[in-house]
Amino acid sequence: MTQTSTERHPDIEIYIKQRSVEQISTWLEAEFDRLELLQQRGQTYRYQANLDGTQIPITLIDRAAKDFSSLWFDSDSTRWPQDRDCARQACQQLETEIRCIASGWNEGDEPDEWWSIKDSGEQLILWRG
């Protein structure tokens, strides 16, 4: 079952294909009023972003799933209401494929159903990371 609600997600998570930490950080710096790297441990980067006076914790895991890096915004105060909104903008700005979960993690949903968002369009796929 795919997410059809316009309800704001409590957090945002996307997966970014074949982009460096530097490229992703540059995009984040453009999206937020302020971005500070708080900690790096191995392939995990923890940031604190500021958007209109609101602090937003961000975690980036480089190459979390093969060619994809995980980017998690632990807040409902981003400019994107849902994962797919963020994925669309990231796809456009980073010029690469972005994936995000198709549903809002409702019980009974297919956990491997994801949106694959590319310049050429969007499609539902089964992805096991």
Q: The whole model's pTM is what?
A: 0.90
3-state secondary structure of 92: helix
Range of the domain at 24: 12-97
Asked if residue 122 belongs to a domain, the reply is no
3-state secondary structure of 60: strand
Q: What is the CA radius of gyration of the chain?
A: 14
Q: How does pLDDT run across 9-55, given as a tens digit for each residue?
A: 999 999 999 999 999 999 999 999 999 999 999 999 999 999 999 99
Asked if residue 45 belongs to a domain, the reply is yes
Asked if residue 61 belongs to a domain, the reply is yes
Rounded CA-CA distance 72/74 in Å is 6
Number of residues that this document lists for the chain: 129
Asked if residue 127 belongs to a domain, the reply is no
Task: Describe the crossing of helices 83-94 and 21-31 by its angle, rounded to 10 degrees.
Answer: 110
Asked if residue 102 belongs to a domain, the reply is no
Write the CATH number for 68: 3.30.200
Asked if residue 4 belongs to a domain, the reply is no
Asked if residue 106 belongs to a domain, the reply is no
Q: How does pLDDT run across 61-73, given as a tens digit for each residue?
A: 999 999 999 999 9
Counting the structural domains of the chain, the total is: 1
Asked if residue 117 belongs to a domain, the reply is no
